[in-house]
Amino acid sequence: MKETRRIEFIFEIVRILAALVIAYGVTLLCIMLISDNPGEAVYMFAIGPFTSKRRFGQLIGKFIPYLLTGTGMCFVYASNRFNLIGEGVYLMSGCMVALVATQFMSPETPHMVFILVLILVGALTGAAFGSIPALLREKARINETVVSIMMNYALLYAATYLVKAQMYDTSITYMASEPLPAAAKLTRLVSGSQIHAGIFIGIAAVIVTALIFFRTPLGYSIRICGSNPKFARTAGIGMTSSLIAAQVLGATLSGIGGAVDIMGIYDRYMWTGLTNMGFDGLLVAVLSKKNPIFVPLGAFLLAYMRTGAAVLNYTTEIPIEFVDIMQAIIILLIAAEHFLGGFKEKYIFKATKSKNKEAAKNA
């Protein structure tokens, strides 16, 4: 049995690596084929993010919200519910943070208090909107994917309306809120880059999530309900409450992500379309195989890919969007149970067979 588990673990890693190598290879090949100057393009994509403080800062600036949405999506994905509310909540909590910061709080509020209040606003926004699809799913059996996707669009329009009605800044030409007061901004850790204090919040979220996952009854029941609902029901685990908790916690983390992103990088709220951060969080959760401990790795990888594409976008003529295709290939290969599954079964079969032979000999 131990042998089987060891083989499964090794194959899991091999599969993820193989998926990444294939996706990366396909991407590099595409870049080489379409670029006039393939050497430079590949260099910009692969090494570009590390070549200057500003670019590396950009990478970390993306990495921080990915930590939060990634851990959030870990909760949701581990409970085997396709609740995509993280997307809309991310945007809405950014909007609510901007609203509270510009309209309801005095700019003289002490920095720490201001930050804590705003993070709380983000978390509450996340929990409030996140509980709608979760409750509807667990209490009324309404498909959570449909409800959450509908809510994402509704939240997008609601946020746009809030900006227009409550905090529209008429002194600028594009649609955005009034600027956030200085006290509401997270400290930049490295000047001239986007590395900000939100990274501590992100790391804390990873640690707390890992503790909940592996050291509390709630985490255990969430994982069991997700991977084997029939067993969970037979074992008498309170499925409804753990599944609701998983989805609400996931949305809360996404909400904090949106708040941190607005406070860390932006001067004002200016999202006019879906940010795609919720889906990216799902990708991070897929990359880290629902394990919060691996979320930093997945988040870094995705941030690296996205930054590489952005660098490529403004240094060469290649558009940033090709990275979306790469993302899809990775998701498909990693999440496909049967990708390299034949090999795995063969190895497990062989191992068990030789073990049985030994057992027969000894007997």
* Residues contributing to the site for another protein (CB under 8 A): 34, 82, 84, 132, 136, 140-143, 145-147, 149-151, 153-154, 157-158, 160-161, 164-165, 276, 279, 282, 286, 317-325, 327-329, 331-332, 335-339, 341
Please report, for residues 75, 148, 258, 300, the alpha-carbon distance to residue 82 in angstroms, rounded to integers and kept in the order given: 11, 9, 20, 23
Of 267 and 324, the one with the shorter C-beta distance to another protein is 324
CB 41 within 8 A of CB 222: no
Instruction: Of 316, 320, 279, give the one whose Cα is nearest residue 44.
Output: 316
For residues 199 and 159, what is the distance between their CA atoms, to the nearest angstrom? 26
For residues 7 and 15, what is the distance between their CA atoms, to the nearest angstrom? 12
Least distance from another protein to the Cβ atom of residue 302, Å: 12
CB 30 within 8 A of CB 322: yes
Q: Among the residues of the chain, which ranges form H helices?
A: 2-34, 38-46, 53-78, 86-99, 111-140, 144-166, 198-215, 217-227, 229-234, 239-264, 277-287, 295-315, 322-335, 341-362
Of 141 and 361, the one with the shorter C-beta distance to another protein is 141
Instruction: Of 252, 259, 222, give the one whose Cα is nearest residue 237.
Output: 222
Please report, for residues 42, 99, 212, 259, 283, the alpha-carbon distance to residue 207 in angstroms, rounded to integers and kept in the order given: 35, 30, 9, 19, 19
Instruction: Of 256, 311, 304, give the one whose Cα is nearest residue 284.
Output: 304
Least distance from another protein to the Cβ atom of residue 13, Å: 18
Of 14 and 332, the one with the shorter C-beta distance to another protein is 332
Of 172 and 325, the one with the shorter C-beta distance to another protein is 325
Of 15 and 196, the one with the shorter C-beta distance to another protein is 15
Sequence-ordered list of residues with C-beta below 8 angstroms from that of 88, at least 6 positions apart, any chain: 129, 148, 151, 152, 153, 154, 155, 156, 274, 278
Q: Which two tokens stand for residue 43?
A: 């260099």
Q: The tokens 């409800």 sit on which residue?
A: 147
Of 164 and 233, the one with the shorter C-beta distance to another protein is 164
Of 43 and 82, the one with the shorter C-beta distance to another protein is 82
CB 205 within 8 A of CB 75: no
Of 19 and 60, the one with the shorter C-beta distance to another protein is 19
CB 69 within 8 A of CB 317: no
Of 295 and 334, the one with the shorter C-beta distance to another protein is 334
